[in-house]
């Protein structure tokens, strides 16, 4: 996989809080063909549930070793990979907690999709009001796999027309 299709959120050799999770995936068209050259933007809260963004008013601490954002491009086979952490849950002003999730904004040749990846089995998934409004919440779940003493996740994104 070329460098454009890989990203590491932390941007340094320092270790972020929350442990490391490699996520490998593909961007596919609905007919199953890969979408090369798709732009994938990813952002998320840190392990404490705070975004590295001036607009985030959550009092949780920032993690100086985690930037929480990446922009990359899929390779010729539609693949991309990120190395991230499981984000923390965070409070919403109306008094409920968002389940841990990672945001994705994917722009293919024709189609754009903004979505989020949630972690299967997380206790907060059932009460996350945004996840509950999804047409197919199961399609937004990733399964974590144990691989040589480390967690690993896969999560393909399917665009309507690529």
Domains and CATH numbers, the chain: 3-159 (2.60.130.10)
| CB atoms near residue 52 (< 10 Å) | 17
The mean per-residue pLDDT over the stretch 117-132 comes to 91
Q: Is 51 a catalytic residue?
A: yes
| Residue 90 clears pLDDT 90, i.e. is over it | yes
The mean per-residue pLDDT over the stretch 144-156 comes to 73
50, 51, 80, 118: which is the annotated catalytic residue? 51
3-state secondary structure of 28: strand
Q: Is 103 a catalytic residue?
A: yes
CA 95 to centroid of chain Cα atoms = 24
For residue 114, give Cα distances in angstroms to 23, 32, 90, 92.
18, 19, 20, 20
pLDDT of residue 127: 92
pLDDT of residue 145: 67
Q: Is 90 a catalytic residue?
A: yes
Question: Is the model's pTM score more than 0.75?
Answer: yes
Share the mean pLDDT of the chain: 87
| Residue 11 clears pLDDT 60, i.e. is over it | no
- Is the pLDDT higher at 80 or at 136? 80
What tokens appear for 159 in the block?
A: 């665009």
50, 79, 80, 98: which is the annotated catalytic residue? 98
What tokens appear for 37 in the block?
A: 């050259």
The mean per-residue pLDDT over the stretch 59-70 comes to 93
79, 80, 101, 118: which is the annotated catalytic residue? 101
Q: Is 145 a catalytic residue?
A: no
Burial class (CB in 10 A: 0-12, 13-18, 19+), 126: exposed
């Amino acid at each position: 996989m070329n460098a454009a299709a890989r990203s590491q959120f932390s941007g340094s050799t320092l270790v972020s809080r929350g442990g490391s999770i490699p996520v490998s995936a593909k961007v596919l068209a609905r007919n199953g063909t890969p979408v090369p050259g798709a732009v994938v933007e990813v952002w998320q809260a840190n392990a404490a549930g705070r975004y590295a963004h001036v607009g985030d008013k959550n009092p949780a601490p920032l993690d100086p070793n985690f930037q929480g954002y990446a922009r990359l491009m899929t390779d010729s086979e539609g693949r991309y990979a990120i190395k991230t952490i499981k984000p923390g849950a965070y409070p919403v002003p109306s008094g409920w907690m968002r389940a841990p999730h990672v945001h994705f904004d994917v722009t293919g040749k024709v189609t754009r999709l903004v979505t989020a990846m949630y972690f299967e089995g997380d206790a907060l998934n059932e009460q996350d009001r945004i996840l509950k409004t999804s047409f197919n919440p199961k399609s937004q779940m990733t399964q974590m796999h144990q691989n040589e003493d480390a967690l690993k996740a896969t999560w393909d994104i399917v665009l309507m027309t690529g």
